[in-house]
Amino acid sequence: MVWDQDKEATKDNYASQTIVLDQILHELDTLNIEQKNNQRFRVDVSAEALPALLSLLKGRAGYTQLSAISCVDWEDEFELVYHLWSYETKVLVSAHIRIQYTPAVYVSVYDIYTPAGFFERDIYEMYGVYFEGSPMMEKFILTEWHGPAPMLKSFDTLKYVNDMFNWQEYQPDWLKEIQAKGGKVVS
């Protein structure tokens, strides 16, 4: 049946996949590959080598889709994770890099992967990490926000909310009835 053949093909590709990744490993010395399962690879790479790795993966190993770029705030440095998916070999490679906290600047990979434009802009808005060379660096979601980058761990959303907003009293009859019977909010 069709899906069984697909599975077989995936296994074959998996073998060839490790070969390709091995070759790339030899070409770039600052690379650390960790295999999680058949379809997930984690690659740790230095920030300078990432664009080269991405173009190699796209050009040689068929990683045509940039699934997402995630940013993690580790309070002393940012971690950027590039998730790449290959439609040919059905394998996802996550390339992890670390960049410094201030100034948070990195190079854009827009000219390798077009979808990077959206994710880089998102990270710029949410974390303040600037990507040099991206044509889409103007604001999109937080156009009318003047505070600090909200996704930073140092930004306390609860404090901001308490400063900016009120709460209104909500005492409907049914709540009063319950409270009269001795009910209360369990916290």
Partner 1 sequence: MRAENYQAVTHPESHEFELNFGPNHPGIEGNYALKVRVNGDKIVAAKADGGYLHRGFEKLMEGRLWIQNIALVPRICVPDPVPMEMCYALGVEDLCQFEVPERANWLRVLQLELSRIAAHLFTFGGHAATVGMYSNMFWGIADRDLILDMFEQMTGGRVYHMYTIPGGVRRDVGVEQLDKISDLLDYLEKRLSDYDNLFFNNKIFIQRARDTGILTPKQALSWGVTGPNLRACGLAFDVRRDDAYLCYDQIDFDIATETAGDALARNLVRRKELAQSIYIVRQVIDYLKKDKSTHIRCQIPNPLAWKVPAGETYTRVESSKGELSFYIVSNGGEKPYRVHVRGPSSMHAVQVLEKLVTGGRLEDVAQIMFSLDACPPEVDR
Partner 2 sequence: MKDVIPIQTNNTETIAVSKNSKNIYQQAIDTFSNFCRARSLFVLHYCTGCGAIELPPAMTSRFDMERLGIQPMVTPRQADILLITGYVSIKTLKRVILTYEQMQGPKYVIGICSCTVNGGMYWQSYATAKVLSEYLPVDMYIAGCMPRPEAVLTGLQQLMKKIEKGEANSWENYFKRYDYYLGNQQHLFGDTWHTPTDILEEARHYHLYGAESTGNNTARLIKYTVEHDLTKLDAPLREKDSMTKRGKK
- Binding-site ranges for partner 2 (CB under 8 A): 143-147, 150, 155, 157-158, 160-161, 163-168, 170
Measured between alpha carbons, how far is 119 from 45 in angstroms, rounded to an integer? Answer: 20
Query: Which of helix, strand or coil describes residue 2?
Result: helix
How many chain residues interact with partner 1 (CB under 8 A)?
40
Nearest approach, Cβ of residue 154 and partner 1 (Å): 12
Residues 80-99 that bind partner 1 (CB under 8 A): 81, 83, 85, 87, 90, 92, 94
Q: Write b or e for each residue in 138-150: b if 16 or more Cβ atoms lie within 10 A of its Cβ, otherwise e.
A: eeeeeeeeeeebe
Q: In the complex, what is the shortest distance from the CB of residue 105 to partner 2, in angstroms, rounded to a whole number?
A: 25
Among candidates 80, 73, 16, which has minimal Cα distance to 54? 80
Is the backbone peptide bond immediately before 115 cis, with ω within 30 degrees of 0? no
Which of 55, 65, 98, 101 is in the footprint of partner 1 by CB under 8 A? Answer: 65
CA–CA separation, 145 vs 14, rounded Å?
46
- Indicate the residue among 38 and 179 with the shorter CB distance to partner 1: 38
Applying CB under 8 A, the residues found at the interface with partner 1 are 1, 3, 6-7, 39-40, 64-68, 70-73, 81, 83, 85, 87, 90, 92, 94, 113-115, 117-119, 122, 126, 140-144, 150-151, 155, 157-158
